[in-house]
Amino acid sequence: MLWTIIGILVLLWLFGFLFEVAGGLIHVLLVIALVVFIINLIRGR
């Protein structure tokens, strides 16, 4: 589930670079997803 969300956010982030659509929001969501991913790695899940 987490990998799916991260994958979707990365794709949206790349589309944001290409088409400059909602770039700021996508960057914020990508940072949140990255933080959640790192926390899960530290916890060992």
Query: Whole-angstrom Cα distance, residue 2 to residue 45?
Result: 11
Given this model, what pLDDT does residue 14 score?
72
The whole-chain average pLDDT of the chain stands at 75
Q: Using 50, 70 and 90 to split pLDDT, how confident is the model at 37?
A: confident
pLDDT at residue 38 greater than cutoff 80: yes
Query: Whole-angstrom Cα distance, residue 45 to residue 27?
Result: 25
Amino acid, single-letter form, for residue 14: L
Q: Give residue 21's region: left, alpha or beta (phi > 0; psi -120 to 50).
A: beta
Q: What is the mean pLDDT of residues 6-18?
A: 73
Whole-model pTM: value is 0.49
Number of domains within the chain: 1
The share of the chain scoring above pLDDT 90, in percent, equals 0
Within a 13 Å sphere around the CA of 40, how many CA atoms are in the beta-carbon half? 11
pLDDT at residue 9 greater than cutoff 80: no
Query: Whole-angstrom Cα distance, residue 25 to residue 12?
Result: 10
Domain that holds residue 33: 2-43
